[in-house]
Amino acid sequence: MPAKPHIGYVGVGLMGLPMVKRLVSLHYPVRAYDLLAGKTAAAAAAGAHTAASPADAVQGAEMVLLNLPTTDAVEQAVFGEAGVAGAMRAPQLLIDFSTIKVDRCKAFAQKLRAASGCGWIDAPVSGGPPASGSGTLTIMAGGEAAEIARAQPLFADIAGRFTHMGPSGAGMAAKMLNQLVVGVGHAVMAEAVVLAEAAGIDAARLPECLAGGLGDSALLQKLYPRMQRREFAPQGYVRQLLKDLDMVHEYAAALKAPTPMMSEALSLYRILVHLGYAELDTGAILKVYDRSAK
* Catalytic residue IDs: 175
Closest CA to 281 of 222, 221, 246, 235: 235
Residue 32 in contact with residue 50, Cβ under 8 Å?
A: yes
3-state secondary structure 12-75: CCCCHHHHHHHHHHCCCCEEEECCCHHHHHHHHHCCCEECCCHHHHHCCCCEEEECCCCHHHHH
3-state secondary structure 172-235: HHHHHHHHHHHHHHHHHHHHHHHHHHHHCCCHHHHHHHHCCCCCCCHHHHHHHHHHHCCCCCCC
Q: Is 105 helix (H, G, I), strand (E, B) or coil?
A: helix
- Given 3-state DSSP classes, what are the helix, strand and coil percentages for the chain, each rounded to the nearest 5? 55, 15, 30
Facing residues of 141 across strands? 164
Cα–Cα distance measured from residue 76 to residue 245, given in angstroms and rounded to the nearest whole number: 22
Give, as one character, the DSSP assignment of residue 98: S
Q: Which helix (H) or strand (E) holds 272?
A: helix 260-274
Closest CA to 265 of 281, 285, 291: 285
Closest CA to 131 of 37, 232, 261, 222: 222
